[in-house]
Chain A
Amino acid sequence: MLHTLVAYVEDKPGVLNRIASLFRRRAFNIESLTVGHTEQLGVSRMTIVIDGSQTSVERVEQNLYKLVNVLRVDDVSSLPAVVRDLALIKVKTSPQTRSEILQLAHIFRARIVDVSKTTVILEVTGDENKIEATIEMLRPFGIVEMVRTGVVAMVRGPGRFDPAEVAAWASATRKPGERDANSNISSSV
């Protein structure tokens, strides 16, 4: 199962390197990692997707917490969350195929952001499944190049994670795979 972790980290030089180094050293397999600014000055937010069958999610959380610059880590996989990936896909077109591609774009609610005589660039946003489906449908036309941002996630509802607040340490004493329903992760969102 894929797990989505949201990590708040201090926006300092070298922090991304510390996290990448940790994953490499501990041989953690990650599916995707994104990082960007947050509403708070000096705090960056990472979304990390891990294949739980390859890498213990608890170990990733525990080891992230050992980094002094990591403020808070939450596994949002079991929470209702908006999860989005964005892809730019440059597809070959010809007068014969262009309208079909435009139709597909419409179905997937992708936007056409560039058109040339022989290509279009589609911008598509959604969860990973939707992006994968879009790519599959476009592949027969010939994908010239593609770029994806990686997944970002936000829990639904009025709450927010507070990086200043300690996330549940219950994770340390959970049995592998067991989720803690009463942790303050869920109560604060």
Chain B
Amino acid sequence: MQLKGAQIIWECLVRKGVKVVFGYPGGAILPAYDAMLDYPIHHVLVRHEQGATHMADGYARASGTVGVAIATSGPGASNMVTGIATAMMDSVPIVCITGQVGSKVIGSDAFQEIDVTGITLPITKHNFLVTHPEEIAQAIREAFFIAESGRQGPVLVDITKDAQQASAEFEWDDTPVRLPGYRPQHRPQSAELQRAADLINNAQRPLILAGHGIIMSSGCGEVLAFAERTDTPIALTLLGLGGVPASHPLNLGMMGMHGEAWVNSAIQQADLLLAFGMRFDDRVTGNLQTYAVNAKKIHIEIDPSEINKNVNVDVGIVGDLRETLLELLPYVAERKHAEWRAHIDGMKGEVAVRDIQYLPDSGHLYAAHVINDLWRLTKGQAIVVTDVGQHQMWEAQYYKHEQPRTLITSGGLGTMGFAFPAAMGAKFARPDTEVWAIVGDGGFQMTAAELATAAQEKIKINVAIINNGYLGMVRQWQEFFYERRYAATPLRNPDFVKLAEAHGLVGIRVTKRAEIPSAYEAALAEPGTVLVDFRVEQEDSVFPMVPAGADLHAMIRRPSPLAETAADP
């Protein structure tokens, strides 16, 4: 049937199962917006295109399907850049559709023209410039296929205005996409599996390092089965949190710069590291020269270019984590590592007393207390979306995730402003689940304009602002490494309660720990989005901390609660 290019876009999206898109209209995408009204897709009007990409990202991470964002040419497209880069670094499948100026004027510096395929070349998995209506369907089909297969990631489809306006024959092609140069599937070879199994079966102090890949491959159950069979403890990366229940006895918790001391110590003492769907980021390894020097390493990873990139491994297996583990399991023997596990438990016991949870609040409001109390009050069942900074690390330490896809955070790019819009995207994906955005007072203000979107959409999410009046993590670095010279970190904030009220939303202020439960109940009872302004301790720091580039075992440890109480007047 003959359809306009603009209609073909929506025909394709409907057939890809898209229910909601996040976007902002403008000249070059107007034909598509006009056609949109005739299709059963809900459009969320954001206040800035960055918000649209983060919403699509949050939607994708919460649902496990592709999120879609749409914007016009020029500034609309360039505003998407941060969101696309965020999705790229964390391997999140989103498809961004942008309008482009007419094909006849491309290259002439036309009004709102920008070379968005050029700009996004290094931050997309692939991108397309479509100049003819008959190419639209194929490009969108391929975009979805590339975004959600292999190592997932963002794909951008830039469609010229004349391609949207002109007509072409449309017939939906439901056959599998064939791209000759794109081969996302790799089957592990039996020789590799045998080499890996030999190391596993002979290890005395094995440790699993599990990352985002265990969630992206839906391989969490297989990781647990492997860990239980081989009695191997599991350390998680930030993006791996939730992949293994926090309450599981083999789960040690988070590794890395703000990982727990026993986890980092275990990594340094292990004789075998099993890296499952993670990429040895500098935030988890510290100094590579001294990283896990005693350990043999097995790396199972879907992206061949990650193997031997940062850490040289003894066995590298390229493949989908879940499928690879299913194939590997028959090769590995049942093991017991009682001594090794007792040793780790010993390290844990020593550190646990330093835990800020046990610190008396003495009338102060500590961020860690807020997050820990939120964990208790939500019974650990909420989807929590965090921004970037101190609160993000406290959340990782004190909110115990039991389910995959319940922690959504910008790990790789560390994008401040991510959480609030991403939480809205997550809510669209999982409308029946309680969603909390935990944000800092700095990061929240980067995308606070989306409050208007939340109000317009009448969407119900809860925003916990961990408000310490500083760009807290930068302030912490200044305290530790720059002699407390607080350059550009103190914030003079708006009244967040009034800000919520200005949008017709509810704001609640909390200044004491005792007020947290009632604030929580009030937030829950409110049908619309609620901002809770937690006025926390101003100069609090995240412990433990491995200074950037330092040895993983050279942690700045959490001060003991006794010392802290003594110092407290």
Residues of A whose CB lies within 8 Å of any CB of B are 9-10, 13-14, 17-18, 21-22, 25, 56, 58-59, 62-63, 65-72, 163-164, 166, 169, 171-173, 175-176
B336 contacts the other chain (CB 8 A)? no
* Residue pair A65, B304 in contact (C-beta under 8 Å): yes
The interface residues of chain A lying within 8 Å CB-to-CB of B312 are 175-176
Residues of B whose CB lies within 8 Å of any CB of A are 117-118, 121-122, 125-126, 129, 146, 179-183, 186, 192, 303-305, 307-309, 312, 315-318
The interface residues of chain B lying within 8 Å CB-to-CB of A21 are 121-122
* Residue pair A66, B303 in contact (C-beta under 8 Å): yes
- How far is the CB of A152 from the nearest CB of chain B, in Å? 21
Q: Contacts A17-B121, A176-B308 given; indicate if A10 touches B180 (C-beta within 8 A).
A: yes
A56, A65, A172: the one contacting B316 at CB < 8 Å is: A172
Looking at A22, A65, A173, the one whose CB has the most chain B CB atoms below 10 A away is A173
* Residue pair A68, B181 in contact (C-beta under 8 Å): yes
* Residue pair B183, A166 in contact (C-beta under 8 Å): yes
Q: Contacts A10-B180, A70-B181, A175-B312 given; indicate if A59 touches B122 (C-beta within 8 A).
A: no
Minimal Cβ-Cβ distance residue in B for A62: B305
Number of A-B contacts (CB under 8 A): 62
* Residue pair B304, A171 in contact (C-beta under 8 Å): yes
* Residue pair B192, A173 in contact (C-beta under 8 Å): yes
* Residue pair A58, B308 in contact (C-beta under 8 Å): yes
Q: Cα distance A81–B530 when bound, in Å?
A: 69
Looking at A9, A66, A72, A171, the one whose CB has the most chain B CB atoms below 10 A away is A66
Q: Cα distance A172–B186 when bound, in Å?
A: 11
- How far is the CB of A82 from the nearest CB of chain B, in Å? 26
Q: Contacts A68-B179, A172-B316, A176-B312 given; indicate if A25 touches B305 (C-beta within 8 A).
A: no
* Residue pair A169, B146 in contact (C-beta under 8 Å): no
* Residue pair A68, B146 in contact (C-beta under 8 Å): yes
Minimal Cβ-Cβ distance residue in A for B155: A68
Provide the main secondary structure of the chain A interface.
Answer: mixed
* Residue pair A173, B181 in contact (C-beta under 8 Å): no
The interface residues of chain A lying within 8 Å CB-to-CB of B318 are 169, 172-173
Q: Contacts A169-B318, A173-B316 given; indicate if A71 touches B304 (C-beta within 8 A).
A: no
Q: Cα distance A186–B395 when bound, in Å?
A: 52
Looking at B118, B129, B309, the one whose CB has the most chain A CB atoms below 10 A away is B309
Q: A18-B121, A21-B121, A67-B126 are in contact. List 13 more A-B contacts (CB 8 A).
A: A10-B181, A13-B129, A56-B308, A59-B309, A62-B305, A70-B181, A163-B180, A169-B186, A172-B304, A172-B318, A173-B307, A175-B308, A176-B312
The interface residues of chain B lying within 8 Å CB-to-CB of A18 are 121
The interface residues of chain A lying within 8 Å CB-to-CB of B308 are 56, 58-59, 175-176
Q: Contacts A59-B309, A173-B315 given; indicate if A17 touches B304 (C-beta within 8 A).
A: no
Q: Contacts A17-B121, A169-B318, A172-B316 given; indicate if A9 touches B305 (C-beta within 8 A).
A: no
The interface residues of chain B lying within 8 Å CB-to-CB of A171 are 304
**Pairs of residues from A and B, 10 with the lowest C-beta to C-beta distance, nearest first:** A172-B304, A62-B305, A173-B316, A71-B181, A172-B318, A68-B126, A62-B304, A68-B182, A25-B122, A21-B121
* Residue pair B181, A9 in contact (C-beta under 8 Å): yes
Q: Contacts A10-B181, A173-B315 given; indicate if A66 touches B305 (C-beta within 8 A).
A: yes
The interface residues of chain A lying within 8 Å CB-to-CB of B182 are 68
* Residue pair A67, B181 in contact (C-beta under 8 Å): yes
Minimal Cβ-Cβ distance residue in A for B150: A66
The interface residues of chain B lying within 8 Å CB-to-CB of A58 are 308
The interface residues of chain B lying within 8 Å CB-to-CB of A13 are 129
The interface residues of chain A lying within 8 Å CB-to-CB of B309 are 59
The interface residues of chain A lying within 8 Å CB-to-CB of B117 are 14
- How far is the CB of A26 from the nearest CB of chain B, in Å? 9
* Residue pair B118, A17 in contact (C-beta under 8 Å): yes
The interface residues of chain B lying within 8 Å CB-to-CB of A175 are 308, 312
Q: Cα distance A56–B192 when bound, in Å?
A: 22
- How far is the CB of B448 from the nearest CB of chain A, in Å? 32
Minimal Cβ-Cβ distance residue in A for B122: A25
- How far is the CB of B331 from the nearest CB of chain A, in Å? 16
* Residue pair A169, B304 in contact (C-beta under 8 Å): yes
Q: Cα distance A62–B307 when bound, in Å?
A: 9
The interface residues of chain B lying within 8 Å CB-to-CB of A65 are 183, 304-305
The interface residues of chain B lying within 8 Å CB-to-CB of A67 are 126, 181
Q: Cα distance A25–B305 when bound, in Å?
A: 14
Q: Cα distance A25–B179 when bound, in Å?
A: 24
Q: List 19 A-B contacts (CB under 8 A).
A: A10-B180, A14-B117, A18-B121, A21-B121, A59-B305, A62-B304, A63-B305, A65-B304, A66-B305, A67-B181, A68-B126, A71-B180, A72-B181, A164-B180, A169-B186, A171-B304, A172-B186, A173-B307, A173-B315
Q: Cα distance A65–B183 when bound, in Å?
A: 9
Q: Cα distance A174–B126 when bound, in Å?
A: 27
Looking at A25, A59, A62, the one whose CB has the most chain B CB atoms below 10 A away is A62
Q: Cα distance A149–B303 when bound, in Å?
A: 34
Minimal Cβ-Cβ distance residue in A for B123: A25
The interface residues of chain A lying within 8 Å CB-to-CB of B126 are 67-68
Q: Cα distance A69–B183 when bound, in Å?
A: 11
Q: Cα distance A157–B337 when bound, in Å?
A: 55
Q: Cα distance A72–B315 when bound, in Å?
A: 24
- How far is the CB of B177 from the nearest CB of chain A, in Å? 11
- How far is the CB of B20 from the nearest CB of chain A, in Å? 27
Q: Cα distance A63–B125 when bound, in Å?
A: 12
- How far is the CB of B564 from the nearest CB of chain A, in Å? 45
Minimal Cβ-Cβ distance residue in B for A63: B305
- How far is the CB of B264 from the nearest CB of chain A, in Å? 26
- How far is the CB of B27 from the nearest CB of chain A, in Å? 24
The interface residues of chain A lying within 8 Å CB-to-CB of B180 are 10, 71, 163-164
- How far is the CB of B300 from the nearest CB of chain A, in Å? 11
Q: Cα distance A63–B126 when bound, in Å?
A: 13
Q: Cα distance A58–B309 when bound, in Å?
A: 10
- How far is the CB of A156 from the nearest CB of chain B, in Å? 26
Q: Cα distance A18–B125 when bound, in Å?
A: 11
Q: Contacts A59-B309, A173-B317, A175-B312 given; indicate if A69 touches B181 (C-beta within 8 A).
A: yes
Minimal Cβ-Cβ distance residue in A for B131: A13
* Residue pair A172, B307 in contact (C-beta under 8 Å): yes
Minimal Cβ-Cβ distance residue in B for A43: B180
